[in-house]
Structure 1
Amino acid sequence: MSDKIGAAEDPLPLRWLDHVATAMNVTGSSLILALMVLIGLDVAGRNLLGAPLPGVPEMVSLSIVAIVFLQSPQTLRAGRMPRSTALLDMLTKRSPRLAAAIEDVWDMIGIGVLATVAWATWPRLVRDWERGTFIGAIGDFTAPTWPVKATIVAGSVVLVLQFLARIWRRHRIPDGKAQ
């Protein structure tokens, strides 16, 4: 049983989770497009007008982190998270239950790591929000850092939920028959 993209028979909360992951992915892709335009304008400004756009390096550095956390839930959902599967593929043929158990351990480790990321980032998000922390230089360009922290927390939480959904999908019993 593939635990990649969910099926129509998934319960409503999992379908909503998939919609959220898709929306986050679209947002991340839109951010990539915006960065491409911004970088192109910056390069054109440097070469044609001798004046770069202010804040482009800061926006790129903030956006890269946001893009990773926006697109990771969909990447996991689609089964495209980079990893080596040679051993797992062999085990799936010989012992599907052992392969599923190894996948479960992998997913539980992912849950632990991303829950820790969300838990550790939350206080920084609150602090940056309350203090108005920014990146850049006053008078030239400034951008608040809290939106990226919020994206890290949200992306981590949705990724934790996607790991849980993978486990559920792997072990669900379709039509009352055990897998």
Structure 2
Amino acid sequence: MEPDAPTTANDRLALALGLGPGIVLLLTALLTLADVIGRNLFDAPVPGATELTELALVAITFLLYPRVAWRDTHISVDLLDGFMGRAARRLQRVLAAVIGTLAFGALAWRIWILGERVTGYGDVTPYLRLPLGPVYYAMALLCGVTAAAYLARLALVIAAPRRLPDADAQDAKKGIE
């Protein structure tokens, strides 16, 4: 087995959740390369490249949220971690999962409502005339998936806190500082 091969179900899920944004990022880089070459060598930029890049950035961001939630790699300040005991750290993880679940659940609800409004208005991108409603619906669905990931994380933290390593422990195991 290769050293970087995923070994646990948690690792495999994290890898799967990272494939989508990675593919979109690669396609965005290729689009940007084609646009720059077309613009500079042939005086013919890729039509709508700016709009496609903007949509790709939205996709990358919202596709990454479930992975961040599942791996517990959201931004945190660890000023007090050295002073906190095991129970305090567990409480911190529980609170983070509860807040993440509620926040992304609320975002899913509100973005879905915006999607209905945008769809009703028939909003489209300025150049390519791509409908924006599906983008909002996808964002709402991914927020819902993120809320579900936080909820699953919460259940695991409560049920088996010792069996669920955080990202720092996983990185330390792999020798990443």
TM more than 0.5: yes
* Number of the residue aligned with 1:80: 73
The alignment's TM-score, normalised by the length of structure 1, stands at 0.74
Quick one: structure 1 residues 68 and 102, their matched pair in 2 at CA, closer, same or farther if it must change by over 3 Å? same
Whether contact under 8 Å (1:55, 1:136) holds in the other structure is no
Aligned match of 1:39:
32
Contact 2:94 / 2:158 at 8 angstroms: preserved in 1? no
Alignment of 1:16-95 (within 5 A): 23-91=16-84, 95=85
Structure 2 CA distance, aligned partners of 1:34 and 1:90?
45
Write the deviation string for residues 131-151 of structure 1: whole angstroms up to 9, x where unpaired.
4321123xxx22221232122
Matched position secondary structure for 1:85: coil
**Residues 22 and 151 of structure 1, relative CA distance in 2, 3 Å threshold:** farther
Deviation at 1:70, TM superposition (A): 0.6
Q: CA deviation at 1:66?
A: 1.6
Q: Could you say which structure has the higher strand fraction?
A: 1
TM (norm. structure 2) is 0.75
Counterpart Cα distance in 2 of 1:105 and 1:57: 39
The answer to whether the 8 A contact 2:81-2:89 is kept is yes
Compare relative contact order (CA 8 Å, sep 6+) and give the higher one, 1 or 2: 1
Structure-to-structure mapping, 1:137-148, within 5 angstroms: 137=127, 141-148=128-135
Cα separation, partners in 2 of 1:22 and 1:127, compared to 1, 3 Å: farther
Q: Which amino acid aligns with 1:106?
A: A
Which position in structure 2 is the counterpart of 1:113?
103
The 1:24/1:152 distance shift into structure 2, 3 A limit, reads: farther
Partner SS, residue 125 of structure 2: strand
CA positional deviation for 1:86: 3.7
AA aligned opposite 2:23: S
Indicate how the Cα distance of structure 1 residues 76 and 27 shifts in structure 2: closer, same or farther if over 3 A, else same.
same
Measured after TM superposition, the shift of residue 40 of structure 1 is 0.5
- In structure 2, what is the equivalent of residue 100 of structure 1? 90
Summarize the Cα distance change of 1:160–1:124 in structure 2 as closer, same or farther, 3 Å threshold: same
Listed as ranges, the gaps of 5+ residues in structure 1 are 9-14, 175-179
Asked if the contact 1:55–1:142 (Cα under 8 Å) also holds between the matched residues in 2, the reply is: no
* Deviation at residue 173 of structure 1 after TM alignment: 4.8
User: Equivalent pairs: percent with the same residue?
Assistant: 25
